[in-house]
Chain A
Amino acid sequence: MSAADHPILDPALAPPFPVAALPVLRNPQLRKNVAHAIDVIQAKRGKLVAEKTDWQALRAAAAAIKDETLANLGAYLEQFEERCTAAGGHVHWAADAAEARRIILEILRETSADEVIKIKTMTSAEIQLNPFLEAAGVRAYETDLAEIILQLGQGEPSHIVVPALHVNRAQVREIFARTMGLPELSDDPKALTAAARNYLRQKFLSIPTAISGANFLVAETGGVAIVESEGNGRMCLTLPRTLITLAGIEKVVPRFQDLEVMLQLLARSATGERMNPYTSLWTGVTPGDGPQNFHVVLLDNERSSILGRKTERQTLRCIRCAACMNTCPVYRQTGGHAYGSVYPGPIGTILTPQLEQLRHAQSLPYASSLCGACYEVCPVKINIPEILIDLRARVTDQERKTVGKFFDPMYVGLRVANLIFARAWLFHFAQWAGRIGAKLVTRKDGWIHSLPSVGAKWTQTRDLRGLPVQTFHEWFKDRERATPAGTNRPPGTPAGNKGAREQGTNGAEAR
């Protein structure tokens, strides 16, 4: 088993992104699985987005709804609390992960539950709920097919919508056969689904307590909305007597009608469907129908501090569709585990460091080439590159005060570069000095094949063309001197063109 099979999704303990990415980069099968899976989803998404002529208007509307909500978040949350309570629900407020876990455990203790069934919820992973419940003597059973695979196989999610994206069919068979005691199980999808169904039905029928997340909370009605593909979630929401819904405070939308915009965007962005197969909407408690003991735990966990920052505030618009990771060229190579966080991909690179108050996960804001593909697809128009740059500035401000980073070659280099760029004469001197230095490492073919220090990371896979004998500004100056402006010179006269003379041959033979 490679290290990739045992990822650490706790930012406080996970290795930095460039290190955590290595086991995946060295695993061609895994890279192929990830690339194939997200390419399929992206292609479906692309087709369904293209058929919506009002897609850009929908995105703008969603961003506006979210911004309006965030600007009045306290009021909308209180409205939600009031309406939900009036409909028979109980609303709890949790300032952080520990408080949310404590509240949930107290509710479970009141109902003497020692087992719970769970709908796939990223927020419960964020607060590390399962290991906490386990330690408190409560067994949590995941009911989402992918989550079952991961729970039984003791794996970690690598994607927020399709968490077992990195596991292939043969591996699923192996996990089910081993943990369900089915040595004869085949890897036929039908057989695998039947095995899961059998396993699940027993849980649904015997465990009277469920924990869910929420896709949306509706302030106007006090209702909750959950979308899913399998129907297992619907089972958890309807069969048990007690239901606990854990939701981040940013999940609220003001009006029921806002769901019209959000649900159109979410299904297309997340799974490339016009509408997800199951959309559950409920408000409080309906006597004689569904859970009669209903709790909502509203989780802050740093969200209100994110709210206080102008640029970063956009992060809270996120509806967890995962379109950003499906389109991300970095995620495509590394998969989700390299991010060392339950939220991988571009959204993880901005959300996780903020949830951690930048104490951990300092490498995540740099895990992006800033190509902007995520911003392009984001249904709520989160400008992820802009936030990444902001977070990088905050990380740098923190780090540059430390002794270790003061002497770090990259930090030294950037400080020196800044001094040089402040004065053209110094820049020109540095170019001259660089040219002399480069000569020492330039091979006969005119290229640099190996560089020292940070440059070695460049030359590990690419060459660098040797420095030309004349910079552009030197050429331009020579040319001005030879034929001053205003004299009648043919266009582009290469007067004094030392560089072009010495280098201007077609260099095909220079290899």
Chain B
Amino acid sequence: MRASLFITCYNDTLYPETGRAVVSLLERLGVEVEFRAGQTCCGQMHANTGFRGEAFSQAKRLVRLYADAEAVVIPSSSCVAMMRDQYPGLFEELGNETLRREFKALLPRVYELSEFLIDKLGVEDVGAYFPHRVTYHASCHGLRALRLGDRPFRLLAKVRGLELVPLANLDRCCGFGGTFSVKNGDVSSAMLTVKLEDVLATKAEFCTALDNSCLMHLGGAMHREYASMRTIHMAQILASTQEKPAEVVG
């Protein structure tokens, strides 16, 4: 099995430790990981802000880049949701027949990380060790767009040493929403405050998710508030072993 990692633009720039963890995790599970150097962004930021033409040109680039990939793994649920929910409309409206065909052929081979582990590889126990109290934030896109369901919980349940603390109001948005967080900065902050109350009430050491954008939002507030909790992408928990514990950066 050869998986092509689409790390996504913001993970590449801001959260390389998540990418290193995905590589480490997949290689441990016997997957060969390739990385295509031409990758940049899926176009979500432009699409969600109303820049349809720009989003389309990025989408087109991405589909061509991965046209011959065996499987594309993306450790960011919102970028996967972008491809599943918005690419069809973009290609329908702005693309040509060839492009639509290429996209249709690629889409079934695009996986969010937990989907890849459970649906494609068929593993729940990835052999991880992470002796900490952890709460899981179900990002809106993972929860409602991708319908990840219990996949994240099944993976976390098999991590040795990990104590999972349930998060109240699991389905409530943290208020990030991409450019929403600056265009409607005050409303976004109010939503974040409410979310953070629930997250901190778990008294966990770590808040994890399958999307670093929510974690950037929550983690940014935790740091501002001098909270003792930290954020960590689930890939880093799943990559963590007794010999090589998770990298916790920042």
Contacts and interface: CB of A to CB of B under 8 A. Distances in A.
Contacts of B186: 18, 21-22, 25
Given A392-B50, A422-B40, A472-B18, 20 more contacts: A330-B184, A369-B191, A370-B178, A373-B172, A375-B144, A386-B85, A396-B50, A410-B49, A417-B46, A422-B58, A431-B13, A454-B182, A461-B192, A465-B216, A465-B223, A468-B17, A476-B23, A494-B20, A499-B16, A500-B20
B223 to A, nearest CB: 4
B12 A492 contact: no
Q: Is the interface of B mostly helix, strand, loop or mixed?
A: helix
Contacts of A476: 19, 23, 35
Q: Which interface residue of A376, A454, A455, A472 has the most chain B CB atoms within 10 A? A: A472
Interface string B152-185: 0000000000000000000111011111111111
B16 A462 contact: no
Give the contact-size bracket for chain A: 35 or more
B50 A491 contact: no
Nearest to A426: B40
A427 B40 contact: yes
Interface in A325-379: 329-330, 332-334, 365-373, 375-376
A368 B178 CA distance: 10
Given A368-B177, A462-B192, A504-B249, A373 B140 contact: yes
Contacts of A447: 223, 250
Contacts of A414: 45-46, 49, 51, 54
Q: Which 3 A-B pairs have the closest CB atoms?
A: A492-B24, A369-B177, A462-B220
Contact of A506 (B11, B141, B182, B248): B248
Contacts of B185: 18, 457-458, 460-461
B45 to A, nearest CB: 7
A424 B15 CA distance: 18
A395 interface: yes
Contacts of A511: 223, 226
Contacts of A410: 49, 179, 182-183
25 contacts: A18-B186, A329-B172, A329-B173, A334-B187, A369-B176, A369-B180, A371-B144, A389-B47, A395-B50, A396-B52, A410-B182, A414-B45, A418-B54, A447-B223, A455-B182, A458-B185, A462-B189, A462-B221, A463-B224, A467-B13, A467-B14, A468-B17, A471-B16, A491-B27, A492-B27
Nearest to B219: A465
Contacts of B173: 329, 369, 371, 373
Nearest to A424: B38
A389 B175 CA distance: 17
Contact of B52 (A393, A420, A434, A446): A393
A369 B193 CA distance: 15
A132 interface: no
Interface in B16-72: 16-20, 23-25, 27-28, 32, 34-35, 37-41, 43, 45-52, 54, 57-58, 61
A510 B250 contact: yes
Given A389-B47, A396-B49, A455-B182, A472 B7 contact: yes
A504 B18 CA distance: 12
B188 interface: yes
Contacts of A485: 32, 34
Contacts of A372: 140-141, 144-145
B101 interface: no
Given A371-B173, A464-B220, A492-B27, A330 B187 contact: yes
A338 to B, nearest CB: 8
Contacts of B1: none
A17 interface: yes
Interface string B125-137: 0000000000000
Contacts of A449: 224
A492 to B, nearest CB: 3
B201 interface: no
Q: Which interface residue of A365, A414, A449 has the most chain B CB atoms within 10 A? A: A414
A465 B191 contact: no
